[in-house]
Structure 1
Amino acid sequence: MKLFIIGCGNVGKFIAYNFNCFEVKGFEITGFLDDDEKKWGTIVAGYPVIGGIHLINNETETIGCVVSIANPITKKEIIQKIRINNIEYPSLIAPNNWISNNVTIGKGVIIYPGVSVNYNAVLEDFTTINMNCAIGHDCTIAQYSTLAPGVSLGGFTYIEECVSMGINAATKQSIRIGKNTVVGGMSMVIRNLPASITAVGIPSRIIKYHS
């Protein structure tokens, strides 16, 4: 089955270079789709950049798609523009990580190498878990959210939709982070955070409210 990678940035390059490592059967990369016209017709990580993302809606046969976009809000917007139903979103899980029994993983999830996920965790659709993250027991990461390398979540943490957590950010147990929120790198979250803010520091503090 043909597989398109949406976005030919750093996440897309990682997937293209390492697709065979994910042991996803039945798919063969056709190329990239990206809305940056300057990239159209170029070769990235050995595959052609075919054209804009809208082209995926022209496909009549069943296809595969990986949305390789790190920014959660952009990721959500792109997925909502895909109108065809004849599409599969395989989850890409690197082999050299540890995932406990009784973990729920949705569609279109990307899990980089070195990740640990403890029991009763839920990774919802289109979440991205970067290298060396540690997801504690009973955590939930809601759809579209992205964890940068080295993020650590204490047990019972709930990450709402479209949250972005920076490199080596962490939470203590039983924290809830509201949707569309950004947590800066190296931040330690010890209190719940509301939706649509940016928080940084140790302990984390709100520095910006998003419209």
Structure 2
Amino acid sequence: MTRAFVVGAGGFGREVLDVLRDQGIDIEGVVDDAPSEQNLRLLERQGVRYLGTVEHALREYAGSSVRYLLGIGSAAVRRVLDERFSEAGIVPMSVVHSSATMGFDVRIAPGAVVCAGVRITSNVELGRHVHLNLNVTVGHDTTIEDYVSVNPGAAISGAVTIREEALLGANAFILQGLEVGRRSVVGASAAAMRSVQPDTTVVGVPARILARRPS
């Protein structure tokens, strides 16, 4: 049986545990550098072991058959951890909840997490460590690059490209054929009617620029 641990004891990390249980994956435990007392109590209620820090996991599981998933919201942190675990020979797995639906030719890279109720149609690509939260919809011919987070209820129309490390807020909407740039943010309930430039935060309906990250 496949064994896996989750990095991150917070809310999404524990939601990843739900998907692992749904798929019958043997849960090794949870890794976190600084778990709160509340999160440790919640892990204990689930009967899930706290394994220690990332450094401990790198030593303990280097070159082993145990897989991992990143239950951490920050895309930049996911990228760094992906590199560190890869250097240690620790391989990520991808996991898809049984209630998610997928059309023809959906390609899912290692580390991706597809939560309950997600709907993906045809000819879609998900990059490394992509997070699709509850009830997300992804239209045909869409590419979602590495380390993207799509929060609950967001809707991505067909032929959309979401670049690396972007974040779509809860119930955000992306119109067909658009591109959301690298490290950009589409706010909760925003409706993107035009492409979003890299390092830009947009909010509202229609989405307008709220901030740009300095280059």
Q: Is the 8 A contact 2:153 2:172 kept in 1?
A: yes
- TM-fit CA distance, 1:18: 4.5
In the alignment, which residue of structure 2 is the partner of 1:65? 68
Aligned 8 A contact 2:19 2:97 in 1: no
Mapped to 1, the partners of 2:112 and 2:76 lie a distance apart of 15
In the TM superposition, what is the alpha-carbon distance from 1:16 to its structure 2 partner?
A: 2.4
Match of 2:135 in 1: 132
Any idea what SS the aligned residue of 1:88 has? coil
Q: Which residue of 27, 32, 35 maps to 2:33?
A: 35
Taking the aligned partners of 1:78 and 1:20, their CA distance within structure 2 comes to 23
Q: Aligned-pair distance for 1:174?
A: 0.5
Q: What is the TM-score normalised by the length of structure 2? A: 0.89
Q: CA deviation at 1:119?
A: 0.7
Per-residue Cα deviation, 1:104-156 (whole angstroms, up to 9, x for no partner): 11111111111111111111111011111110100000011010011111111
Question: What's the CA shift string for 1:157-187, capped at 9, x where partnerless?
Answer: 0000001100110111110011001110000
SS of 1:66's equivalent in the other structure is: strand
Structure 1: distance between partners of 2:169 and 2:205: 13
Contact 2:111 2:128 in 1 (8 A): yes
More helix by share: 2
Residue identity over aligned pairs, in percent, reads 23
C-alpha spacing 1:7/1:37, structure 2 compared with 1 (3 Å): closer
Structure 2: how far apart are the matches of 1:110 and 1:169?
A: 19
Deviation of 1:52 (Å)? 1.2
Residue 163 of structure 2 is aligned with which of 129, 152, 160?
A: 160
Name structure 2 gaps, 5 residues minimum: none
Whether contact under 8 Å (2:19, 2:95) holds in the other structure is: no
Q: Could you list the structure 1 runs, at least 4 aligned residues long, displaced by more than 6 angstroms after superposition.
A: none
Q: Distance in 2 between matches of 1:108 and 1:204?
A: 30
Instruction: Tell me which moved more, 13-22 or 162-171.
Output: 13-22
Amino acid of the structure 2 residue aligned with 1:175: L
Aligned residues of 1:114 and 1:131 also touching (Cα < 8 A): yes
State the secondary structure of the residue aligned to 1:47.
coil
Map of 2:176 onto structure 1 = 173
Q: RMSD across aligned C-alpha pairs, in angstroms?
A: 1.9
SS of residue in 2 equivalent to 1:13:
helix
Specify every segment of 5 or more residues in structure 1 that has no aligned partner in the other structure, as ranges: none
Q: Is the 8 A contact 2:172 2:188 kept in 1?
A: yes
Structure 1 counterpart of 2:120, one-letter code: V
Number of positions where the alignment pairs a residue of Structure 1 with one of Structure 2: 207
CA distance in 1, matches of 2:65, 2:19: 23
Q: CA deviation at 1:17?
A: 3.9
**Distance in 2 (alpha carbons) for counterparts of 1:94 and 1:12:** 15
The alpha-carbon deviation at position 209 of structure 1 amounts to 1.2
1:7 aligns with 2:8: yes
Task: Report if the CA contact (8 A) 2:19-2:96 is conserved.
Answer: no
> TM-score scaled by structure 1?
0.91
Cα distance, 1:2 vs. partner?
Answer: 4.1
Deviations 1:45-100 (A, max 9, x none): 32122221122221243221111112222211222222211x23221101112100
